[in-house]
Structure 1
Amino acid sequence: MSDLNKLGLAEARDALRKGDVTSVELTESCLKAIDEADALNAFVHKTPEIALERAKAADARIKAGDAPSMCGLPIGIKDLFCTKGVSSQAASKILEGFRPEYESTVSQQLADAGAVMLGKLNMDEFAMGSSNETSVYGNAVSPWRRGNDDAQLTPGGSSGGSASAVSADLCLAATGTDTGGSIRQPAAFVGITGIKPTYGRCSRWGIVAFASSLDQAGPMTKNVRDAAIMLETMCGHDPKDSTSAELAVPNFEAMLTGDVKGKKIGIPKEYRMDGMPAEIEKLWSDGAEMLKAAGAEIVDISLPHTKYALPAYYVIAPAEASSNLARYDGVRYGRRAHLAQGDGITEMYEKTRAEGFGPEVQRRVMIGTYVLSAGFYDAYYNRARKVRTLIKKDFEDVFAAGVDAILTPATPSASFGLGEMTEADPVQMYLNDVFTVTVNLAGLPGVSVPAGLDKQGLPLGLQLIGRPWDEGELLNTAYALETAAGFVAKPGKWW
């Protein structure tokens, strides 16, 4: 078989079980694709030795008949996950040279299941960004192009390297993290599937923290079935993470029947934004029609506090970031600035952070420190927390009224060119999260499914939001939508 790197997780797993292919062959095919794709800047720390060693071990496990679903499947790991002995920088200069002596729970669970780590993937610095332009490694580049235009496009952020790598078939799947849309927005931009599970479903232990009450890990895959397979391995209770839920993890793949007859799908009127492109509007109504044709009931719903979600998010997330990033001081690990004669500890902190953090991270730390300061705590942070409670209640009311899932656009536009959203107005960039942040604020599961192309040939995604802990049902609805949409477009290879 040629082009083994183009397989999805389910196809590769079945081929491995039949003996049609070995994990070493799959891994070598991906490693070759990675080496030819430096123009995408998706993989920033390559680990071919670890990959081949794990692939050989996986082949032995499969031969012995002791192989979970993920065994032998080559994947990429976002640079936010600590990986033992392998650089884990969160795409920041301040963590230069940091090689942890431990493994994050999620990457350990994947390794224990026999998954093969190909390397670490590019991302926005400390996961702060929507376009993968804040990385110390430079921009990750989308494998997609607009028509015959050579302009480089963003793969979205912060999990831009993961999105680019999966879409370009450099790996079979990848891990991502989602604090305000960082799995779902990049997945929509590059035509792949990405799911953010319920807050607490996947352990956060060993993942470099951005905003602890919002961060959640999830899989980025080529289709919904693959998302179900990988998510099951990534989930589970972890005593090392106090927010991790002690709940049984169902067999998500077994729940993919595609039957949505009688399910109620809500369409929130507040998501009809002013100036929304006609293509996004049409995609949304087409998606609703597809689910209706599959037997679901489409109902109009109201989530009245939606308009406050972005402002609340951009108070809460930076506040938590300023608290989490205080640990980077040049004392214990990572980079330390060069000090002049007579410099004390305060100068060391100041110089290290000024050198180590990029402009976007500095901006968010400053905002966060400001909203947590004595005079402004109640005016900003406490008020944002109250708004968050109201947003969560909006969703609770809708689900209590019998709605099974909510359908919205995933992004307000298709992918844009790198450098098009300039530094001049960071708020323009923040608006990219308009459809996704509510899900993080409410701790709900959300999935982005590719559903069509815009007139320039770029992918557009739809988002489904589910009840808490109901990832199985949500994935099944996503599976029905994916089947109806029949999205099979791939980027033309230019790299």
Structure 2
Amino acid sequence: MSDLTRLTIAEARDEMNKGALSSADLTDAYLAAIEAANKALNAYVTVTGDKARDMAKASDARRAAGTVGALEGIPLGIKDLFGTEGEHTQACSHVLDGFKPRYESTVTANLWADGAVMLGKLNMDEFAMGSSNETSYYGPVINPWRAEGSNSDLVPGGSSGGSAAAVSAMLCAGATATDTGGSIRQPAAFTGTVGIKPTYGRCSRWGVVAFASSLDQAGPIARDVRDAAILLKSMASVDDKDTTSVDLPVPDYEAALGGSVRGLKIGIPREYRMDGMPAEIDALWQQGIAWLKDAGAEIVDIELPHTKYALPAYYIVAPAEASSNLARYDGVRYGLRVPGKDIADMYEKTRAEGFGQEVKRRIMIGTYVLSAGYYDAYYLRAQKVRTLIKRDFELAFNAGVDAILTPATPSSAFAIGDEELAADPVKMYLNDVFTVTVNMAGLPGIAVPAGLDPKGLPLGLQLIGRPFEEETLFKTAHVIEQAAGRFEPKRWW
């Protein structure tokens, strides 16, 4: 085998099951790839080489003894938002300098229980606040993709930019990620990978650093739909430590692949046809509609009338919850501490130095909308809008729609340091325009690569499903994937 890191999770699993490959060899191949590429891509903030080799050795021993987990011996990257016992967990923020938890997040514990191997922690926007992975204390992640004829560095999307870049560049077999307003689906679309945000409550949030607790949800980023299905099966579980996790059986998502979509009703929301939508995004959407129609699906126009209010409502709810969640970082018990003349001064100096500009912006917005005199005008009204957005989807699904097809992003990946976006945060926030509704309504959504733009950069389509019907999304996304083919960046690093 010329390059072990080119194997998908399913392919590596089959090779190991046949005895043609060991986890130790696969892990060493990934560690060598990270060593060669990470300086250029900045996808990993820490590499746990010794731990990875120990886990791979233990996995091979289990396999030899006849014990084989669902992810036995598969090397994964972990977003820096997930607590990993005794290992760097800082949400890529200066305020959490040196923090190594004494606990393991439920999602990562599930992965290790199924035999997976941890390669290291992946870069991300600070506290998951960003759409480009430029707010990380450890510097921006570089997208493995480049426009044809250009050497300009592009963003991988955010906040799970490190996860998406590492999967796309084959620096891990798959990666954990989180999605609060599009942070799995947008970077997946920017890097030619597959990312699914499951239904709120499908994966435990315990041990994951909180951004906006009513919106955050863990999910995988993978190279193809099958690998995403395999990963989600292991990540998902009910958890007594997270009261929002739902006690429903976790299906065998992989078994849904290859199923027919004949007779499925696919909704096309007219509100997603935005003014000024780039021609290539609209063309991609039409191509996706044609593929599903050819596969026997019924295409129906639907209305989601409150979509236009989703982005402003999201940017009230999410910062409000963030301001509450981030109040715990004070320099007293762990992380950064900047000395002050008294405890209040120490709090202020620690937070001033520890938080980045985007995090400070969102904390201030959140604190403002929760303050006396503004709570009813902003936060309460945003929550009412959220209820209306959820009802729009419920009406569509009650009318017989099985899934909804939309673009994943309003454009392909843009340049790092884009001056227009840096000068106007609202323009940066517009990157989430197609994705935030899914979080506001607690629904599952998957981004699947569907084509390339005129510059040769990947574009993705999004499928939105009924609550806890991820199997339908996997089945339908697999049809799109089979029609579109898979996309890889040309190696330049």
Q: How does the TM-score come out when normalised to structure 1?
A: 0.99
Question: What's 1:155 paired with?
Answer: 156
Distance 2:182 2:44 in 1: 21
Shift of 1:337: 0.6
Distance 1:325 1:253 in 2: 37
Determine helix, strand or coil for the equivalent of 1:423.
Answer: helix
Determine helix, strand or coil for the equivalent of 1:279.
Answer: helix
Question: What's 1:430 paired with?
Answer: 429
Distance 1:282 1:24 in 2: 45
Distance 1:423 1:372 in 2: 26
Question: What's 2:342 paired with?
Answer: 344
What whole-Å deviation, never above 9, does each CA across 1:215-258 have from its counterpart, x for those lacking one? Answer: 00000000000011000000010000010001110111111124
Shift of 1:98: 0.2
Shift of 1:364: 0.1
Distance 1:483 1:258 in 2: 12
Distance 2:263 2:421 in 1: 46
What whole-Å deviation, never above 9, does each CA across 1:164-187 have from its counterpart, x for those lacking one? Answer: 000000111000000000000000
Shift of 1:426: 0.4
Distance 2:165 2:457 in 1: 14
Letter of the 1:406 partner, please give it: I
Q: Does 1:371 align with 2:372?
A: no
Query: In angstroms, what is the RMSD of aligned CA positions?
Result: 0.7
Letter of the 1:433 partner, please give it: D
Unaligned 5+ residue runs, structure 2?
A: none
What whole-Å deviation, never above 9, does each CA across 1:319-363 have from its counterpart, x for those lacking one? Answer: 000000000011111110133xxx111111110000000000000
Letter of the 2:429 partner, please give it: Y
Distance 1:65 1:301 in 2: 51
Question: What's 1:202 paired with?
Answer: 203
Distance 1:266 1:473 in 2: 13
Question: What's 2:246 paired with?
Answer: 245
Distance 1:384 1:297 in 2: 34
Distance 1:73 1:103 in 2: 19
Determine helix, strand or coil for the equivalent of 1:76.
Answer: strand
After the TM superposition, which residues 57-72 of structure 1 pair with which residues of structure 2 at under 5 Å, given as runs?
Answer: 57-72=58-73
Determine helix, strand or coil for the equivalent of 1:395.
Answer: helix
Determine helix, strand or coil for the equivalent of 2:422.
Answer: coil
Shift of 1:68: 2.0
Question: What's 1:304 paired with?
Answer: 305
Shift of 1:20: 0.8
After the TM superposition, which residues 125-144 of structure 1 pair with which residues of structure 2 at under 5 Å, given as runs?
Answer: 125-144=126-145
Distance 2:228 2:422 in 1: 34
Distance 1:64 1:304 in 2: 58
Letter of the 2:453 partner, please give it: D
After the TM superposition, which residues 65-144 of structure 1 pair with which residues of structure 2 at under 5 Å, given as runs?
Answer: 65-144=66-145
* Count of aligned residue pairs for this structure pair: 491
Distance 2:295 2:45 in 1: 42
Distance 1:453 1:422 in 2: 23
Letter of the 1:264 partner, please give it: K
- Is residue 80–residue 92 contact of structure 2 (8 Å, CA) maintained in 1? yes
Shift of 1:489: 2.4
Distance 2:62 2:472 in 1: 32
Distance 1:61 1:184 in 2: 35
What whole-Å deviation, never above 9, does each CA across 1:63-102 have from its counterpart, x for those lacking one? Answer: 2222122110001000000100101000000000000011
Question: What's 1:164 paired with?
Answer: 165
Question: What's 1:230 paired with?
Answer: 231
Shift of 1:472: 1.1
Letter of the 1:262 partner, please give it: G
Question: What's 1:327 paired with?
Answer: 328
Question: What's 2:463 paired with?
Answer: 464
Determine helix, strand or coil for the equivalent of 1:270.
Answer: helix
Letter of the 1:24 partner, please give it: A
Question: What's 2:28 paired with?
Answer: 28
Distance 2:489 2:480 in 1: 21
Determine helix, strand or coil for the equivalent of 1:36.
Answer: helix
Letter of the 2:317 partner, please give it: I
After the TM superposition, which residues 250-261 of structure 1 pair with which residues of structure 2 at under 5 Å, given as runs?
Answer: 250-261=251-262
What whole-Å deviation, never above 9, does each CA across 1:192-221 have from its counterpart, x for those lacking one? Answer: 000000000000000000000000000000
Q: How does the TM-score come out when normalised to structure 2?
A: 0.99
Q: Does 1:279 align with 2:277?
A: no
After the TM superposition, which residues 282-297 of structure 1 pair with which residues of structure 2 at under 5 Å, given as runs?
Answer: 282-297=283-298
Determine helix, strand or coil for the equivalent of 1:288.
Answer: helix
What whole-Å deviation, never above 9, does each CA across 1:266-313 have from its counterpart, x for those lacking one? Answer: 000000000100000000000000000000000000000000000000
Shift of 1:473: 1.4
After the TM superposition, which residues 406-417 of structure 1 pair with which residues of structure 2 at under 5 Å, given as runs?
Answer: 406-417=404-415
Question: What's 2:214 paired with?
Answer: 213
Letter of the 2:339 partner, please give it: H
Letter of the 1:290 partner, please give it: W
Unaligned 5+ residue runs, structure 1?
A: none
Letter of the 2:484 partner, please give it: A
Distance 2:254 2:69 in 1: 13
Distance 2:148 2:473 in 1: 33
Determine helix, strand or coil for the equivalent of 1:286.
Answer: helix
Distance 1:465 1:129 in 2: 22
Distance 1:337 1:453 in 2: 48
Letter of the 1:465 partner, please give it: I
Letter of the 1:361 partner, please give it: V
Distance 1:398 1:62 in 2: 47
After the TM superposition, which residues 372-411 of structure 1 pair with which residues of structure 2 at under 5 Å, given as runs?
Answer: 372-411=370-409
- Is residue 69–residue 113 contact of structure 2 (8 Å, CA) maintained in 1? no
What whole-Å deviation, never above 9, does each CA across 1:141-178 have from its counterpart, x for those lacking one? Answer: 00000111111000000000000000000111000000
Shift of 1:422: 3.7
Distance 2:226 2:89 in 1: 29
Distance 2:333 2:437 in 1: 36
Q: Does 1:418 align with 2:419?
A: no
Determine helix, strand or coil for the equivalent of 1:265.
Answer: strand
Distance 2:80 2:256 in 1: 31
Distance 1:413 1:254 in 2: 33
Distance 1:259 1:227 in 2: 19
Letter of the 1:268 partner, please give it: P
Question: What's 2:474 paired with?
Answer: 475
Question: What's 1:7 paired with?
Answer: 7
